[in-house]
Copies of this chain bind each other. A is one copy, B any other.
Amino acid sequence: MWKRGKFFVFICSFQLLFLVLFAIFGEYDLTAKPNAQINESIGGQNEVHHFYPMFQDVHVMMFIGFGFLMTFLKKYGLSSVGENMMLAAFVLQWATIIGGFLHLHDNKFYVTMETLLVSDFASAAVLISMGAMLGKASPLQYIIMAFFEIVLFQVNEWIGLTHFKVADVGGSIFVHVFGAYFGIACSRMLYKKDDMEEAEEKEGSVYHSDHFAMIGTVFLWLFWPSFNSAVAADGDDQLRAIINTYFCLAACCVTTFAVSSLIEKDKFLMEHIQNATLAGGVAIGSMADMDVKLWGAILIGMAAGTLSVLGYKYVGPFLQRRLGIHDTCGVNNLHGMPGIMAALGSVIVTAIATEENYGNSLFGIWSERDPENSNRSAREQAGYQAAALGVTLLIAIVGGCFTGLILRLPVICDPLKAHENFDDTAFWVMPGGYPGEIKTSIEELPEKKNDADHVSKI
Contacts and interface: CB of A to CB of B under 8 A. Distances in A.
Interface stretch (A56-64, A177-185, A192-200, A325-333): A56-64
Interface stretch (A157-165, A167-175, A268-276): A268-276
Contacts of A291: 34
A205 B111 contact: no
Contact of A258 (B12, B31, B113, B116): B12
B236 A32 contact: yes
Contact of A81 (B45, B211, B223): B211
A359 B34 contact: yes
Contact of A41 (B12, B258, B267, B360): B360
Given A93-B254, A267-B427, A441-B445, 13 more contacts: A19-B298, A22-B295, A34-B236, A34-B290, A34-B358, A34-B361, A41-B236, A68-B215, A85-B221, A90-B254, A208-B433, A449-B455, A458-B458
A423 interface: no
A26 B85 CA distance: 41
5 contacts: A7-B258, A32-B239, A34-B358, A78-B211, A90-B250
A214 interface: yes
Contacts of A432: 74, 204-207, 439
A4 interface: yes
A87 B307 CA distance: 21
Interface in A19-51: 19-20, 22-23, 26-28, 31-38, 40-42, 44-45, 47-50
A162 B82 CA distance: 41
Interface in A400-432: 427-432
A446 interface: yes
Copies of this chain in its oligomeric complex: 3
The 3 A-B pairs with the shortest beta carbon distances in the complex, nearest first, are A35-B359, A206-B433, A41-B235
Contact of A249 (B32, B89, B254): B89
Contacts of A59: 222
B77 A207 contact: yes
A432 B208 CA distance: 9
A452 interface: yes
A156 to B, nearest CB: 23
A238 to B, nearest CB: 6
A212 interface: yes
A246 interface: yes
A5 B266 contact: yes
Contacts of A451: 449-450
Contacts of A214: 67, 78, 81-82
B35 A361 contact: yes
Contact of A438 (B4, B41, B234, B438): B438
A212 B81 CA distance: 11
B44 A235 contact: yes
A6 to B, nearest CB: 8
A302 interface: yes
Nearest to A232: B48
A218 interface: yes
